[in-house]
Structure 1
Amino acid sequence: MKHLCLWIMLLISMISTTPHLSLAQQTNPVQPNSQTTIQTQAPDQAAGEQLSATTNANILLSQTPGHGFSLTTILRGFAGMLVLLAIGWIFSKDRRNIPWKTVGVGLAFQVVLAIGVLYVPFIRSGFEFFGKIFVKILDFTNVGSQFLFGSLVDSSTFGSIFAFQILPTIIFFSALTSLLFYWGIIQRVVWAMAWVFTRLLKLSGAESLSVAGNIFLGQTESPLMIKAYLAKMNNSEMMLVMTGGMATLAGGVLAAYIGMLGGNDPVLRLEFAKHLLTASVMAAPAAVIFSKMLVPNTEAVNRDVEVSKDKIGSNLLDAITNGTSEGLKLAVNVAGMLLAFLALIAMINYILGFIGSLTHLNAIIETNTDGRFNELSLQFLLGYLFAPIMWLIGICSQDIMLVGRLLGEKLILTEFIGYISLSDLKGAGAFLEQKSIIMATYILCGFANFASIGIQIGGIGALAPGKRVVLSRLGMYALLAGTLASLMSATIIGMILG
């Protein structure tokens, strides 16, 4: 660990005088609109303003200069990292056997990757290249959406854009993923990444494949690549399979979030594509760190890396059809989930607002939050609860309740709700610093929420029925590890942004 810290400090010192080059360094403050109502009940107006005003200085992140490194931001970043590691240590099932070398290598992997994406031209260009692919996928999806829905696609309201542009992206990307899987392209990429993880992080072959697969696939699709090994996995290996699913995002929803946050602005789409891709890749080593801290491995493991040979379809057309069907199911599930959750939030906020009005809490809240929250609401309570954690990881004091609210929505509801709220808040100019928007993008990256525990027990349990009890016991640990992984990525990126 001592040598690791020296190497990290050396890397930071080497780039501390480097000029800022991209969105990542945009931390200039934005004056919040004190009249903005930050609620989930009516996202249409705020989102519409976001999509129609993408040239506004509050939204065009790429035009905002950065503050640069300072000793304060570096020390605060290290302090945040230590706090997150301390939480992992406190909740560990076996503190004596925590693999500190693996933890150190994983942290170094994250730091080097973050520095590379933000400051090293060829690495940044590589992520931008893949980001452009995702942006192009959005354009291709729009062609199909235009044919089916016509002028509805051009609506300026968020609801129409979400229904006729964002959800179709999930369907198309699912079909494309199935096609790439049928051709064996995804398996080869995953195998290469798994080989690296096995050597660097000392994981078993099956663990590495699962973690690498989660960068591209969902939390129930990735285990399909190792289904022959699931029944034989020990608790530590199963924990990593679950944590990897919690800490990362599937490609289909990743493309949807790019469209959601970037709106119709191609520059913003590319910038958010780069950050979301970086967040998903950084989440892999972070998942390893906290999974192995919470449930260390004390048994010998098989380090051979072998991908399942199963095909996703009998031929090319069958693969595309299967992928389209799965994508349609996911899109309908997402739409139904959002309808139910948003209605539930509106009902809860109505009750809380009524209580706040009777007790005069609403006026107190509006006064003490400078209008960012105008009444007692679920968002206010979540922001208040998670604000201390947000401050510890480097969010500016003025934005900690807003970002804390987003983390709470992700945990209790889903990351989809969190990204919708982030899109609304960003469009309304509610954040004081653009750095908060970037860090929130990383915090929300991942399926770490209570519903995912049930999804994993059902999905992975169907592949390995004998592991259902283990999955149930590890569910809360995986949720904690996945959350800590996202927070660690955000802490590191915030520290490097300065």
Structure 2
Amino acid sequence: MKKNITIGSLSFLLPLISIAQDATQSPTTQTATTQVMKAVASEGFSLESFTRGVVGMITLLFIAYLFSSNRRAINWKTIGIGLALQLSIAIGILKVGFIQDAFDFAGSIFVLILDFTRAGSQFLLGNLVDTNSIGYIFAFQVLPTIIFFSALTSLLFYLGVIQVIVRGMAWALSKLLNISGAESLSVTGNIFLGQTEAPLMIKAYLAKMTRSEILLVMIGGMATVAGGVMAAYIQYLGGDDPQMRLLFARHLLAASVMAAPGAIVVSKMLCPQTEQFSNDSHVSMENVGSNVLDAIANGTTEGLKLAANVAAMLLVFVAFIAMINYFFNWVGYQTHLNNIIASNTPYNGLSLEMILGTVFSPIMWLAGIAKEDVMLMGQLLGIKLSSSEFVAYTQLATLKDMTSAPHLMYNKSIIMATYMLCGFANFASIGIQIGGIGALAPNQRKTLSQFGLKAVLGGTLASLLSATIAGMIIG
């Protein structure tokens, strides 16, 4: 005999329905709101910020030392000069007027490119470009930025502009830090190009590279981001505010430049150079196009592939995070953990973000983050490692909004997060590098696979070094 199902008989499901609604409301689906409050401003360099910064740097270097394949072979002169160079870049960008002006000028070019992209997007998409929903901003402003910047980068590469800049920086790094010409080219190329595009410049050298050189090529790719996605982050974090876009442009550019010596420092600790290497540094010009129009077309095609990949990746990872959070929320509800967590942490209940924040909060504190923000910063690092920096930046865009709950309390935390997340170091990048670099040098595929996890560690440590140094100077 069938029973009649009533609303009352389903009452036990009501809490689960509420949990499902909470779990599926990702920060990327919320509507952007105007900030009415501001994060606590930084007070400037102080003895406390210096001490916290030094402790953080020593901790990060000690982690690299622990995982070194040959501790006795570490060239401490290279490590010292690399750190001094990274510190000098940070001080110059954050404190020296004319260097700040130079980076602001470079940042203004990025902002101008965003305006050019917006003109193209408005022609194609009309009023959809002006919608304030975060989802619309991403789909109709951020993704077109990736496509246009990819085409522009391809054009600049065809014209030889990028090669001139890269050669100059590579020569300086090679002489200062005693590294090979090819690996210095790859590391500096990563400031502008992606983790599989920069190695194209040294294709002729990849097959003969030593293990130490290969690891630096990998870490250099994971410690930086490509110019196209950097422009997208500027758009995403700065929104329509010209001053905010210029601010984040300066810090993202600084993070990319600082990452070059940082990647060298960490890489040469994890796998010191013990073999002979060559100082040759000829830039390969393959696959750049037969003429200007062909170069632009190739760049557009590659940008479209990258934009589609980013969009699909975000869709899948945000959905998976929502699914995982549904399960964790249910567990928290059944065990009454949600109430305990809500009373003692910035989170409303048990979630993936809460777990990652707890795991990584100690290293965030050592890096100089205020205790009120350590869990949220740990969350961002964990999300970046487990999914991608794009997903982490979407969460940062929400966490920097003082009207959202939870949110970062200190401006210093927001700036440090900008540096910390500026890199491709995540588990998915292992496969990308094995496939991309391995196709250029099949004999190195085994070495690439052996170094996968170490490269993720190295890229993460390099980004954290940049964030720690920036935080120490900001105060």
Q: TM-score range by the shorter chain?
A: over 0.9
Instruction: State the percentage of identical aligned residues.
Output: 62
Among 263, 266, 270, the residue aligned to 2:246: 270
Structure-2 residue corresponding to 1:88: 64
Cα distance in 2 between the residues matched to 1:309 and 1:164: 33
Among 98, 108, 124, the residue aligned to 2:74: 98
TM-score, normalised relative to structure 1:
0.89
Per-residue deviation, residues 136-170 of structure 1 (Å, max 9, x unmatched): 11100001110111011111100011000000000
Letter in 1 for 2:91: I
Cα distance in 2 between the residues matched to 1:268 and 1:355: 40
Among 239, 256, 260, the residue aligned to 2:236: 260
Residue 296 and residue 38 in structure 1: after superposition, are their counterparts in 2 closer, same or farther (change >3 A)?
farther
Among 388, 394, 399, the residue aligned to 2:373: 399
Give the 3-state SS of the residue equivalent to 1:48 in structure 2.
coil
Structure-2 residue corresponding to 1:78: 54
Structure-1 residue corresponding to 2:267: 291
Structure exhibiting the larger radius of gyration computed from Cα positions: 2
CA contact (8 A) 2:73 2:272 kept: yes
Cα distance in 1 between the residues matched to 2:163 and 2:72: 36
Structure-2 residue corresponding to 1:373: 347
Structure-1 residue corresponding to 2:451: 474
Residue 229 and residue 38 in structure 1: after superposition, are their counterparts in 2 closer, same or farther (change >3 A)?
farther
Structure-2 residue corresponding to 1:14: none
Structure 2 residue 141 is matched with structure 1 residue 165 = yes
Structure-2 residue corresponding to 1:48: 32
Displacement after TM superposition at 1:92 (Å): 0.2
Per-residue deviation, residues 377-416 of structure 1 (Å, max 9, x unmatched): 0000000000000000100000000000000000000000
Cα distance in 2 between the residues matched to 1:153 and 1:198: 45
Cα distance in 2 between the residues matched to 1:375 and 1:308: 53
CA contact (8 A) 2:29 2:135 kept: no
Cα distance in 1 between the residues matched to 2:23 and 2:167: 44
Cα distance in 1 between the residues matched to 2:29 and 2:285: 49
Cα distance in 1 between the residues matched to 2:398 and 2:22: 8
Residue 343 and residue 45 in structure 1: after superposition, are their counterparts in 2 closer, same or farther (change >3 A)?
closer
Of 429-438 and 278-287, deviating more is 429-438
Displacement after TM superposition at 1:304 (Å): 2.6
Structure-2 residue corresponding to 1:199: 175
CA contact (8 A) 1:93 1:296 kept: yes
Cα distance in 2 between the residues matched to 1:107 and 1:47: 41
Structure-1 residue corresponding to 2:38: 58
Displacement after TM superposition at 1:65 (Å): 5.1
Per-residue deviation, residues 44-95 of structure 1 (Å, max 9, x unmatched): 565511xxx25x3426xxxx75312222211111111111111011000000
Cα distance in 2 between the residues matched to 1:341 and 1:480: 21
Per-residue deviation, residues 165-202 of structure 1 (Å, max 9, x unmatched): 00000000000000001101111111111001111111
Letter in 1 for 2:38: N
CA contact (8 A) 2:207 2:444 kept: yes
Structure-2 residue corresponding to 1:28: none
Letter in 2 for 1:67: E
Aligned residues: 452
Cα distance in 2 between the residues matched to 1:190 and 1:130: 16
Letter in 2 for 1:461: G
Displacement after TM superposition at 1:305 (Å): 2.4
Structure 1: which 5+ residue stretches go unaligned? Answer: 1-36
Cα distance in 2 between the residues matched to 1:153 and 1:116: 37
Structure-2 residue corresponding to 1:458: 435
Give the 3-state SS of the residue equivalent to 1:126 in structure 2.
helix
Cα distance in 1 between the residues matched to 2:285 and 2:391: 36
Structure-2 residue corresponding to 1:418: 392
Displacement after TM superposition at 1:118 (Å): 1.1
Residue 349 and residue 355 in structure 1: after superposition, are their counterparts in 2 closer, same or farther (change >3 A)?
same
Structure-1 residue corresponding to 2:467: 490
Give the 3-state SS of the residue equivalent to 2:279 in structure 1.
coil
CA contact (8 A) 1:40 1:342 kept: no
Residue 242 and residue 269 in structure 1: after superposition, are their counterparts in 2 closer, same or farther (change >3 A)?
same
Displacement after TM superposition at 1:299 (Å): 1.1
Give the 3-state SS of the residue equivalent to 1:398 in structure 2.
coil
RMSD: 1.4
Structure 2 residue 328 is matched with structure 1 residue 352 = yes
Residue 143 and residue 38 in structure 1: after superposition, are their counterparts in 2 closer, same or farther (change >3 A)?
farther
TM-score, normalised relative to structure 2:
0.93
Letter in 1 for 2:74: I
Cα distance in 2 between the residues matched to 1:109 and 1:42: 40
Cα distance in 1 between the residues matched to 2:466 and 2:171: 22
Displacement after TM superposition at 1:306 (Å): 1.8
CA contact (8 A) 2:384 2:392 kept: yes
Structure 2 residue 421 is matched with structure 1 residue 444 = yes
Structure-2 residue corresponding to 1:4: none
Letter in 2 for 1:440: A
CA contact (8 A) 2:24 2:326 kept: no
Cα distance in 2 between the residues matched to 1:328 and 1:466: 30
Cα distance in 1 between the residues matched to 2:133 and 2:42: 32
Structure 2: which 5+ residue stretches go unaligned? Answer: 1-20
Cα distance in 2 between the residues matched to 1:230 and 1:220: 12
CA contact (8 A) 1:365 1:373 kept: yes
Residue 38 and residue 439 in structure 1: after superposition, are their counterparts in 2 closer, same or farther (change >3 A)?
farther
CA contact (8 A) 1:47 1:423 kept: no
